[in-house]
Structure 1
């Protein structure tokens, strides 16, 4: 049940982020849901591979290159999800930053159902 709640909250946050970033467009709530699913799958499969290959440059930039990796993940999600349009690399970068901040705040505000 907690997974479904987090999925719905993340979809709402994606729609909110779409209103904040002018270069991002999402057609419908179902597209937002698919964006969340695509981002989750890409973060689980593609992101670790990109992080492994970019480890030297990530170390040289003191971790700032991870923002570029997040933007690449957003652009890949745009490729896979119809109804989700990102107007370039900078918009993808801002989208990933804003979405990360909103998800962090939501994670603090929404209690976890894990038992201690």
Structure 2
């Protein structure tokens, strides 16, 4: 999947997940433009910060058989919330950001496999 395709997919996922959790207030996105901005910020953070965090957390990632990567993805989402602005894009708790990280990762894996199988 290309860069802009992944940005659009993440934007749509953020809007859909925020709509799903709108009653509980666990995850909030102010508008589609804030979801787009969060997708761009997340892509930049994943390119620049995540490799460094992954390197530092490699021992615990190996010990947990890769499950610690969910925590790293949640940290990336929390950083995204910080940079976009918590009034526009925020999570009620770290557990909610972990749940959103799992949902986004699973959806991206399914969509990416669909794009690969179509080539």
26, 46, 50: which one pairs with 1:47? 50
Taking structure 1 as the reference length, the TM-score comes to 0.85
Change (3 A) 1:56 1:9: closer
Write out the 4+ residue segments of structure 1 that deviate beyond 3 Å after TM superposition: 2-6, 108-114
Deviation digits for residues 60-100 of structure 1, max 9, x if unmatched? 11111111111111100000012101111100100111011
CA distance in 2, matches of 1:89, 1:13: 18
Match of 1:33 in 2: 36
CA distance in 2, matches of 1:58, 1:5: 29
Match of 1:7 in 2: 7
Q: Give ranges in structure 1 of 5+ residues lacking alignment.
A: none
Q: Give ranges in structure 2 of 5+ residues lacking alignment.
A: none
Taking structure 2 as the reference length, the TM-score comes to 0.83
Which shifted more, 76-85 or 100-109? 100-109
2:54–2:72 contact (8 Å) kept in structure 1: yes
Deviation (angstroms), 1:57: 1.0
Change (3 A) 1:108 1:62: closer
102, 108, 114: which one pairs with 1:103? 108
